[in-house]
Amino acid sequence: MSESAEMGQRFAPVLESPLHYVRARHRNPAAAAVTLSERSACILLNLRGSPENEPFRESVRAVLHVELPEVGRSADSELASIYWLGPDEWLAVVDQATLAEPVAALRGAIQGHVSIVDVSSAQSLLAVQGAGVAELLQKASVYDFHPREFGPGRCAQTTFAKATALVRCVGEEHFELIVRRSFIDYVARWIVDACAESGCHISGT
């Protein structure tokens, strides 16, 4: 057993996901038009590279089994979801159970001027679902999330209340919010307040 693994066992590190404390304090109402659930145990990677860098695209394809998505879109494979952030920037979300060391795998595969940064603790991934989702998004953001403009597979970084978020449409009445960790308490409180009439259920509480 390596020294670090030994230490790991001795200290049994306790992971606290960004939404940890909100979940602990929130009381779910009897009825709720919006459900929030946090996805944890993910590895988040910020990928930077030129979209013209074919070896870069190829190695992402090879390691994560998914194509780098085009402007304003996301793409999924059984290993990872990738979100477009900017013309040379993507966010990859990898399930820790399916691929434990994506950074090493990508670093090993990728050549040239690219940047791979582990930001696993930097964000909270929230699934937001329910009949009240459309109205919640309209209250929170200046972006137009109407299904005609923003269907499944679309993603956008925009304002959310007085913070920002990466929003993805998963399906009907089903969106994904990715919010910076330090803002998550504020954002969650804001959502609960905005859903005061219709109710907000936070799973895990």
82/91 Cα distance (integer angstroms): 6
Asked if 197 is part of the footprint of another protein (rule: CB under 8 A), the reply reads: yes
Considering only 30, 31, 71, 97, the residue that binds another protein (CB under 8 A) is 71
The answer to whether the Cα torsion of 87, 50, 48, 78 is positive or negative is: positive
Considering only 46, 53, 77, 198, the residue that binds another protein (CB under 8 A) is 46
Question: Least distance to another protein from the beta carbon of 53, Å?
Answer: 11
Asked if 60 is part of the footprint of another protein (rule: CB under 8 A), the reply reads: no
78 versus 172: smaller Cβ distance to another protein:
172
141/160 Cα distance (integer angstroms): 5
48 versus 65: smaller Cβ distance to another protein:
48
136/9 Cα distance (integer angstroms): 43
Considering only 76, 95, 135, 173, the residue that binds another protein (CB under 8 A) is 135
167/67 Cα distance (integer angstroms): 19
Question: Least distance to another protein from the beta carbon of 48, Å?
Answer: 4
Considering only 67, 98, 146, 171, the residue that binds another protein (CB under 8 A) is 146
Asked if 162 is part of the footprint of another protein (rule: CB under 8 A), the reply reads: yes
Strand, helix or coil for residue 204: coil
Asked if 118 is part of the footprint of another protein (rule: CB under 8 A), the reply reads: yes
Strand, helix or coil for residue 197: coil
193/197 Cα distance (integer angstroms): 9
Q: Among residues 18, 20, 16, 22, which one has the least CA distance to residue 188? A: 22
Parallel, antiparallel or unpaired: strands 163-171 and 34-39 = unpaired
Contacts with another protein, residue ranges (CB under 8 A): 3-4, 7-18, 21, 46, 48, 71-72, 85-89, 113-115, 117-123, 135, 138-139, 141-144, 146, 148-149, 156-159, 161-164, 180-183, 185-187, 189-190, 193-194, 196-197
